[in-house]
Amino acid sequence: MRPDILFPLFFPVTMLPGIGPRIAKQIAKAAGGQVVDLCWHLPSSLIDRRLAPKIAEAPDGAVATITLTVDAHSPPHNRRLPYRVRCSDETGSLDLVFFHARPDYLKRALPKGETRVVSGRVEYFRGQPQRLQMPHPDHIVPLEERDSLRTVEALYPLCGGLTQKTIGKAIKAALETIPALPEWIEPAFLRQQKWLSWRDSLLALHAPQSEADLDTRALPRLRLAYDEMLASQLTLALTRARYRRLSGRAITGDGQLRHAALAALPFCLTKSQKQALSEITEDMKSTGRMLRLLQGDVGSGKTVIAFLSMLTAAEAGTQAVLMAPTEILARQHMATIVPLAKAAGVDAILLTGREKGKNRRNVLEGLATGETTLAVGTHALFQEDVVFADLSLAVIDEQHRFGVHQRMLLAEKGKGTDVLVMTATPIPRTLTQAAFGDMDVSRLTEKPPGRRPVDTKVLPISRVNEVVSAISRRCAKGERIYWVCPLIDESEDLDLAAASDRYDALCYILGERVGLVHGAMKGKEKDAVLARFVSGEITVLVATTVIEVGIDVPEATMMVVEHAERFGLAQLHQLRGRIGRGQRESLCLLLYAPPLGDVARSRLEILRASDDGFYIAEEDLRLRGAGEVLGTRQSGLPEFHFADLAEHSDLLGVARDDARLILECDPGLGSPRGEALRVLLYLFERDSVVKYARSG
Ligand code: ADP
Ligand code: MG
């Protein structure tokens, strides 16, 4: 239950004075529907209205707040001319100028003979100082309100038809309702940082006095960023603590199956593969629950490690499952695993949305009786009727597509099930913390030996004809080529149109050897095209980004990416990982449509110069906001209002340690500070985890 003290913050904005349904709708678009959303809506710039000169002293082009007397109204003779209101003070005169004026409004706002205070940008008409004018003043107020006008005004990002005045007023009204909250930051740390209370920090953020106050490193901003990261780290720590309390079990193998599989592998494990495998084996052996992230670039050999870990589960007489985000990937994992499983003498089955009827029933029965030891599949594995006799290890590939909740769900199909999450998107260290909290991490930092680096070139699309000739030459030598068409407008129809146009053009030149695969195709059709590409019947595969994750065709030696400037760095890096898998030299051509902006140019240059996914990820973070790096929605990264993971990474580490310490001392959040921290969790809408705080 949300604490009473927070109630006013979660009222709908229509509860604020002066906000009716029409404005509320506009506010909802720009900020959100609750009072708290207005508080989180930060100013993006400011306007200084403190300069209050006499008319004769007002500088050309300045923003000024001027007290004056209204002398005369002169409506225009002609609609193209402005409405002028002649005003003056003891030093001179000034015209207020209005285009498309509403005369009745102006007569009311500026009655003849009265004193008014106006604020806005002044200018010399035709460069003449004696002809001062102010077009469309931002504010017109009576004398009593002069002081409240002569301040620095915060300006907010707008959208949905809102005006600055409306949102400014709404935010002011919202801020008037905000309560003082109990302090959740440790007092010594608060003093050391020179931070204000939560409420004062928020008020300060909305009342910037200079550009420096708008900076991401301004003190009030740091405090709120810290609050937000603390809430997020506490959420992760609570989830983790709950997960750990669900007791684990000790899974120990005798190494027999693993030896048999290793003997069947045509290669030796790399040093970091061996390291990761021993970390996983240790975790499984311990009675605690494993929650480990296996991070490694595309092709760094994660699947083999996952499989060898699954064999340990099998040796212990239990079951293990490997879940992939797509059908294609699940099938590919299956293809890798089947020969190795055969060599080790264990049974592996596949379960995806396409297994139906009798086939599916057989699969389910095998899992339920325990006859089947290893399973590979998609989220079809989540379905309620999928029951395991004794699941001890769940491996989840490409973690970003699944939420924390789903991870738990799969683990709950067993008792004390260990979880290994694999991701091929290298995440900068700072972001790993944000996304996964204190999950244990194993990293595969080296490539298997014998890989040739991919030669990467950046070219304008105008050179596409040369590219096509290069393709013909490679085709003649039996090599395979990917041609990647980009996402346009996030609309599948348009993407498809672009890809089909390219397909037609390439067919015209290269004939029958070209294939097309895209997101709108059915699983079976896709697989059929891919199979023809694998067998070499097709040598050029035109594709939308469906090939992004996981497809493994060692003969592929060339990749063309059209509109490379529209892809994220991490995505391009993953795409490129599809080639350079065999012995031959590989070439990646990044085609762009000029003009190329500075950031886009740097990004393509980073990719040209490096093949190290971790380095690329760090650079990507440096060039862009953290959310963008992975595409926040998909990334599993929390979305922040105040915290910017690129700017505040120093605080993230502190928040993480703080969260850990808090739960060590007060796992039930029962102390006075614990109570305050509960308020913090509700404030940032982490309601669902508060119940994980152990009571008593
Ligand atoms: P990832 O899942 O990390 O993308 P995979 O496990 O699919 O990588 O491995 C990519 C390819 O490299 C596979 O064909 C695999 O058999 C091979 N491979 C894995 N480990 C090694 C190694 N140590 N030496 C040589 N080849 C390896
Ligand atoms: Mg893989």
pLDDT in tens, 214-252: 998 999 999 999 999 999 889 888 877 777 676 778 999
Residues 6+ apart with CB under 8 A from 176: none
Bridge-based pairing of strands 132-135 and 123-124 is antiparallel
**Is the CB of residue 267 below 6 angstroms from any atom belonging to ligand 1?**
yes
Query: What's the confidence (pLDDT) of residue 462?
Result: 92
pLDDT tens, position by position, 525-536? 888 888 898 888
Q: Please tell me the number of the ligand nearest to residue 304's CA.
A: 1
Residue with tokens 């699941």: 391
Least confident of 30-44, 114-128, 266-280, 393-407: 393-407
Q: Check residue 327 and give left, alpha or beta (phi > 0: left; psi -120 to 50: alpha).
A: alpha
* Integer Cα distance of 183 and 672 in angstroms: 9
Does the beta carbon of 265 lie inside 6 Å of ligand 1?
A: no
User: Ligand 1: distance of its center to the CA of 449 in Å?
Assistant: 10
- d(CA 476, CA 511) in angstroms, rounded, equals 12
Tell me how crowded residue 188 is: count the other CB atoms within 10 A of its CB: 8
Query: Which atom of ligand 1 is least distant from the CA of 397?
Result: 2
Q: Is 143 exposed, middle or buried (0-12, 13-18, 19+ CB in 10 A)?
A: exposed
- Cα–Cα distance measured from residue 253 to residue 392, given in angstroms and rounded to the nearest whole number: 12
When pLDDT is cut at 50, 70 and 90, the band that residue 1 belongs to is confident
Task: Give the Å distance between the CA of 329 and the centre of ligand 2.
Answer: 8
476 vs 310, higher pLDDT: 310
Predicted structure pTM score: 0.67
Residues 241-267 have a mean pLDDT of 87
Distance CA 642, CA 221 (A): 7
| 399 within 8 A of 441, measured Cβ to Cβ | no
Q: What is the mean pLDDT of residues 290-314?
A: 90
User: How far apart are the C-alpha atoms of 169 and 41, rounded to whole Å?
Assistant: 13
3-state DSSP assignment of residue 251: coil
pLDDT reported for residue 582: 75
Q: What is residue 53's predicted lDDT score, i.e. its pLDDT?
A: 96
pLDDT at residue 635, rounded to an integer: 45
Task: Using the predicted structure, report yes or no on whether residue 428 has a pLDDT greater than 80.
Answer: no
pLDDT at 517: 87
CA of 377 to the centre of ligand 1 (A): 19
400-417 residue pLDDT tens: 554 555 566 666 777 788
pLDDT tens track for 538-579: 999 998 866 654 567 888 999 999 988 888 787 788 888 888
Residue 348 to residue 261: CA distance in whole angstroms? 14
Q: Where are the beta strands (DSSP E) in 203-328?
A: 291-296, 319-323
List the domains of the chain with CATH numbers.
Answer: 4-46+156-215 (no CATH), 50-150 (2.40.50.140), 216-451+655-696 (3.40.50.300), 454-610 (3.40.50.300)
User: What share of the chain has pLDDT > 90, as a percent?
Assistant: 55
Residue tagged 């695993």 (tokens): 337
Which of left, alpha, beta for 550 (phi over 0: left; psi -120 to 50: alpha)?
Answer: left
pLDDT of 435: 66
Q: Which of 274, 304, 395 gets mutated to test ligand 1 (max ligand atoms within 8 A of its CB)?
A: 304
Q: Is any atom of ligand 1 closer than 6 Å to the C-beta of 591?
A: no
Strand duo 440-444 + 291-296: pairing: parallel
Indicate whether residue 303 lines ligand 1 (CB < 6 A). yes
β-bridge partners, 392: none
**578 Cβ below 6 A of ligand 1:** no
Task: Look at residue 460 in the predicted model and tell me its pLDDT.
Answer: 93
Residue 611, beta-bridge partner list: none
Q: Which residues pair with 482 in a beta bridge?
A: 541, 559
- Over residues 470-482, the pLDDT tens digits come to 998 888 888 899 9
Cα 140 from chain centroid (whole Å): 43
Q: Let me know: does 76 contact 83? Beta carbons within 8 Å.
A: yes
Closest ligand (CA of 305) = 1
**Closest residue (by CA) to atom 27 of ligand 1?**
448
How much distance in Å is there from the Cα of 357 to the middle of ligand 2? 29
Cα separation values, 628 from 352, 491, 569, 599, Å: 31, 19, 10, 13
How many Å lie between the centroid of ligand 1 and the Cα of residue 93?
81
Q: What is the arrangement of strands in the sheet containing 319-323, beginning at the earlier edge strand?
A: 348-351, 374-377, 319-323, 391-397, 418-423, 291-296, 440-444
Residues in the chain: 696
pLDDT of residue 630: 45
pLDDT at 696: 35
For residue 207, what are its two tokens?
């009342």
- Count other C-beta atoms under 10 Å from residue 250's C-beta: 12
pLDDT averaged over every residue in the chain: 87
Write out the two tokens for 589.
């051509």
Indicate if the pLDDT at residue 306 is higher than 90. yes
**Ligand 1 atom nearest to CA at 550:** 4
pLDDT tens digits along 340-372: 999 999 989 999 988 889 999 999 999 999 999
Q: Locate 125 and state its tokens.
A: 């008409």
Does the Cβ of 276 fall within 6 Å of ligand 1?
no
Q: Whose CA is nearest to atom 11 of ligand 1?
A: 299
Quick check: CB of 273 below 6 Å from ligand 1?
Answer: yes
Q: How many CB atoms lie within 10 A of CB 228?
A: 22
Average pLDDT (122-144) is: 93
Ligand in nearest proximity to the CA of 269:
1
Contact 347, 376 (CB under 8 A): no
Q: Check whether 631 has a pLDDT greater than 70.
A: no
pLDDT at 288 over 50: yes
Ligand 1 binding pocket includes 298 (Cβ within 6 Å):
yes
Question: Is 424's C-beta closer than 6 angstroms to any atom of ligand 1?
Answer: yes
427 lines ligand 1 (CB under 6 A): no
Q: What 8-state DSSP symbol labels residue 12?
A: B
Query: How remote is the C-alpha of 366 from its chain's centroid?
Result: 39
Distance CA 483, CA 558 (A): 8
Cis peptide before 595 (omega within 30 of 0): yes
Confidence category of residue 425, pLDDT binned at 50, 70, 90: confident
Mean pLDDT of 177-206: 96
332 lines ligand 1 (CB under 6 A): no
Q: Among 265, 294, 303, which is best to mutate for testing ligand 1, by the most ligand atoms less than 8 A from CB?
A: 303
Select the more confidently predicted residue: 311 or 438. 311
**Structure confidence at residue 410 (pLDDT):** 65
Say whether pLDDT at 602 is over 80. Answer: yes
* Confidence at 491, pLDDT banded by 50, 70, 90: low
Q: Is the CB of 299 under 6 A from ligand 1?
A: yes
Cα-based distances in Å from 526 to 350, 455, 603, 604: 18, 29, 31, 30
The H-or-E segment that residue 560 falls in is strand 556-561
Q: Which amino acid, one-letter code, is at 243?
A: Y
For residue 267, give the ligand nearest its CA: 1
Question: Residue 632 pLDDT more than 50?
Answer: no
Highest mean pLDDT among 57-71, 147-161, 599-613: 57-71
Q: Reply yes or no on whether the pLDDT at 634 is more than 90.
A: no
Distance CA 107, CA 84 (A): 11
The dihedral built from the CA positions of residue 638, 640, 646 and 650, taken in this order, carries a sign that is: negative
* pLDDT for the residue numbered 551: 66
Of residues 159 and 17, more confidence is placed in 17
Beta strands in 102-160 (DSSP E): 115-121, 123-124, 132-135, 139-141, 152-155
Residue percentage of the chain with pLDDT more than 70: 91
CA of 642 to the centre of ligand 1 (A): 41
Q: Give the β-pairing of 63-74 and 83-89.
A: antiparallel
Predicted local distance difference test score (pLDDT) of residue 638: 59
Answer for the pair 121, 87: CB distance below 8 angstroms, yes or no: no
Tell the residue nearest (CA) to atom 15 of ligand 1.
301
Q: How far is the CA of 552 from the centre of ligand 1 (A)?
A: 10
Q: Mutation test of ligand 1: which of 267, 338, 398, 555 has the most ligand atoms closer than 8 Å to its C-beta?
A: 267
Pairing of strands 587-592, 455-460: parallel
Q: Is 580 in the pocket of ligand 1 (CB under 6 A)?
A: no
Q: 203 and 219 in contact (C-beta within 8 Å)?
A: no
Q: Is the CB of residue 559 below 6 angstroms from any atom belonging to ligand 1?
A: no
Express each pLDDT in 675-684 by its tens digit.
999 999 999 9
